[in-house]
Structure formats: C-alpha cells, structure tokens
C-alpha cells in the first residue's frame, strides 16, 4: 500500500492520477475531506481507503497496514495566513510525526518542502543542505517548511530513503479549489475570459521592467513524474529543488495564455499592493544539478507547452486530471 497525504489537493490528486496510470490502485488517501469542491479532484480515481488526516495516526496504530511508501504532500499552503499556530500544527508537528513513523517502521518517505523557504533569494536557489539553516523565508508558511527541513537534517533516526522536494511555482489541473492561492496561469485564464485582458503587477524594482519579474514555473505533470521517479528508483536521500531550472517572465506567461485561448493580447499594469511590495520576489530559479545527479534527465515541459496543455485540455473543458 502507498499512502498519499493531501490526496484531495492539487498536487496530491495529480499524484493519485499518476499512480493509477502506472497501475497502482492500493492507495490510502489522507486529507480533510470536508471540502466538496476539493473532493471533485478524486472523482473516478482508484484507491483502497480514505482516512481523515486527524485520525490517520490512530488508524495506523490500530490497523498496522503493510505500507510500502508514504508521499506526504499535505500541508497548509496559504502564504497570506499569518497564524503561526496553524502552520506549527499542520506543517511542522504533523510532519514530525510522519517522519518518526517512517523512521520507526522503516518506510520510505517523500515530503513536500517549498521554494518559499528561499525568501528573497539572498543565498541563491541551490538545494545545498549547508545553506538551509541560513535561509530567511518571508512568511509563516515558508518558515514552517524551512523549520521542518532544518529539523530533518538534525535527526539521527531516518527512513530507509527520504526526499524533501522544494516545489517552485507549480501550475496545472485540479487547482480549482485553491481560491486566491491558484497559479498565475489560472488567474490569467479567468481574467482574460471575463475581461479580455490581463492585469500584471508593475515593477517597483529598477532592475526589472514591468512584467519582466521572473519565476521558475513548473507544470504539475512534470512534478508528479519526478515524484514517481523517486518512488521507483534508488536515489540519494536529501532535500531537492523541483522546478525547471529556467526562470520565465510574467509577460511570457501571459502571452502564452492569450495564444492558447485564441485571444488577442491586451495587458495592463497595476501597482503591486503596498502591503506585499517589500516582500515581493522578483526572481526565482531552481538550481537543478542535484536532481540531474540523482539520475532524472527527462526534459521538463516548456512554459508554452505546459500552458497550452493546461488551457486546452483542462481549463477550456473544465476538466479534472
């Protein structure tokens, strides 16, 4: 059996689809299943059982199921949430219990870290363990992820294999439930559909022109392909970046979305809100050398390829993965 936490969420449900496609259906899905919109992500999926995240550890202790692997994708990901207690409970303490379970029972573990741990990128975007203690995340979400990474690296008891994946800017199907936390592509699509135009944040940094702020955007299909690779190949344990290694501008993204939708480009610029302006990231780009050294050499989708697939086969058709 394989356990996936956050299974009804964006990346988790995409991973369930990937596993089903690869012939895996003995899956234990863990999440808060009270959100009916989010539960649509699991329609037509094959799995053994759904377990509420609050009772998961009790269920493990009572049932002692034969677990082969755990994909701990579940987390509170709201970067606009500032109640540290929520992140301590759901991201830090819950993850510590997962690590201890996998260490004690010798279950391989992949867990979700985040590029939000890098903050403003003062120390670059290299997944070298040596810089993790120096990183300065910009919000409680990023802090919770970095706190867990730091805790992991101090542990003497470990799972037989483990990998923490620092997800960069992931976009793709099954993010309908995420509200304001959906990807820029999702927002662009709906804004263009509604108004025929897209508003982007103006640059308040003299080193960047308007719309030329850059992010490392990665398609969800590529994310789950990498996770599956780590599940099925013996690799070096550690914390890994999961981006494409190629930063692209918001103008690139917006123009690609217009093209995939068949609309003429109409782009306007608005001021970045004052309350987030001093914490706004103008550039992120994952160093992907460690992933390559682990043996993953499959090319990632280009931004244009990913957006075209996402828009034409999911957003325009209102389909789920």
| Average pLDDT along the chain | 95
CA atoms within 13 A on the CB side of 125: 25
Q: Which residues, other chains included, contact 88 with Cβ-Cβ below 8 Å and sequence gap of 6+? A: 144
pLDDT tens digits, one per residue of 129-157: 999 999 999 888 999 999 999 999 999 99
Residue 252, domain member (yes or no): no
- What would the two tokens of residue 236 be? 């070096």
User: At residue 234, does pLDDT exceed 90?
Assistant: no
Q: Are 144 and 88 in contact (CB under 8 A)?
A: yes
**Res. 80: pLDDT tops 70:** no
Structure tokens at 67: 């677990």
Q: How many domains does the chain have?
A: 1
Q: What is the CATH number of the domain that holds 108?
A: 3.40.50.720
Whether residue 78 has pLDDT greater than 80: no
pTM to 2 decimal places:
0.95
Predicted confidence band of residue 305 (pLDDT cuts 50, 70, 90): very high
Q: Which of 111, 141, 219, 310 is catalytic?
A: 141
* Exposure b/e, 177-195, CB count within 10 A at least 16 = b: bbeeebbbbbebbeebeee
Q: What mean pLDDT comes out for the span 297-312?
A: 98
119 has pLDDT over 80:
yes
Q: Are 2 and 19 in contact (CB under 8 A)?
A: yes
For residue 101, the model assigns a pLDDT of 97
* Higher-pLDDT residue of 82, 268: 268
Strand arrangement, sheet containing 2-5:
49-52, 27-31, 2-5, 69-72, 109-114, 162-167, 238-242
* Residue 289 located in a structural domain: yes
Helix (H, G, I), strand (E, B), or coil: what is residue 162?
Answer: strand
| Active-site annotation holder among 40, 96, 178, 199 | 178
Per-residue pLDDT, averaged over 211-240, amounts to: 96
141 tagged catalytic: yes
CB 239 within 8 A of CB 166: yes
pLDDT in tens, 238-247: 999 999 999 9
Residue 83 predicted with pLDDT over 80: no
For helices 303-310 and 250-261, angle between their N-to-C axes, nearest 10 degrees: 40
In a domain, 86, yes or no: yes
With respect to residue 306, please indicate whether it lies within any of the assigned structural domains: no
Active site residue 266: no
pLDDT at 90: 83
Is 158 within a domain? yes
DSSP 59-96: HHHHH-----EEEE------TT---HHHHIIIIIIHHH
Sign of CA dihedral 192, 306, 75, 88: negative
Q: Identify the DSSP state of 9.
A: S
Angle at which helix 94-105 crosses helix 140-153, to 10 degrees, equals: 20
Q: Other C-beta atoms within 10 Å of 225: how many?
A: 15
Q: Is residue 235 part of a domain?
A: yes
- Look at residue 49 and tell me if it is in a domain: yes
Domain residues for 166? 2-170+217-245+285-300
Q: Which residues contact 164 (CB under 8 A, 6 or more apart)?
A: 110, 111, 112, 113, 148, 149, 152, 238, 239, 240
Q: What is the pLDDT of residue 190?
A: 97
222 class by beta-carbon count within 10 Å (0-12 exposed, 13-18 middle, 19+ buried): buried
Q: Is residue 7 part of a domain?
A: yes
């Amino acid at each position: 059996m394989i356990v996936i936490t956050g299974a009804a969420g964006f990346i988790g449900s995409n991973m369930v689809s990937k596993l089903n496609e690869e012939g895996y259906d003995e899956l234990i899905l863990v999440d808060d299943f009270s959100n009916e919109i989010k539960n649509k992500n699991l329609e037509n999926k094959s799995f053994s059982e759904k377990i509420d995240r609050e009772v998961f550890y009790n269920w493990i202790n009572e049932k002692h199921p034969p677990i082969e692997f755990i994909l701990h994708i579940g987390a509170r990901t709201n970067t606009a949430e500032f109640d540290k207690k929520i992140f301590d409970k759901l991201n830090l303490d819950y993850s510590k219990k997962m690590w201890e379970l996998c260490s004690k029972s010798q279950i391989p573990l992949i867990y979700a870290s985040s590029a939000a741990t890098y903050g403003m990128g003062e120390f670059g975007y290299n997944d070298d363990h040596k810089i993790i203690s120096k990183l300065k995340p910009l919000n409680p979400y990023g802090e919770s992820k970095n706190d867990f990474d730091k805790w992991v690296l101090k542990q003497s008891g470990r799972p037989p294999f483990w990998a923490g994946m620092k997800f960069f800017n992931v976009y793709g199907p099954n993010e309908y439930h995420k509200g304001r936390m959906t990807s820029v592509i999702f927002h662009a699509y709906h804004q263009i559909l509604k108004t025929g135009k897209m508003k982007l944040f103006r640059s308040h940094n003299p080193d960047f022109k308007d719309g030329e702020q850059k992010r490392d955007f990665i398609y969800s299909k590529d994310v789950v392909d990498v996770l599956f690779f780590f599940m099925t190949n013996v690799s070096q344990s550690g914390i890994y970046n999961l981006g494409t290694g190629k930063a692209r501008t918001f103008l690139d993204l917006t123009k690609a979305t217009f093209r995939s939708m068949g609309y003429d480009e109409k782009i306007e610029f608005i001021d970045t809100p004052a309350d987030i302006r001093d914490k706004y990231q103008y550039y992120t780009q994952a160093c992907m050398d460690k992933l390559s050294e682990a043996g993953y050499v499959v090319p990632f989708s280009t931004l244009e390829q990913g957006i075209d697939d996402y828009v034409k086969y999911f957003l325009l058709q209102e389909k789920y993965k």
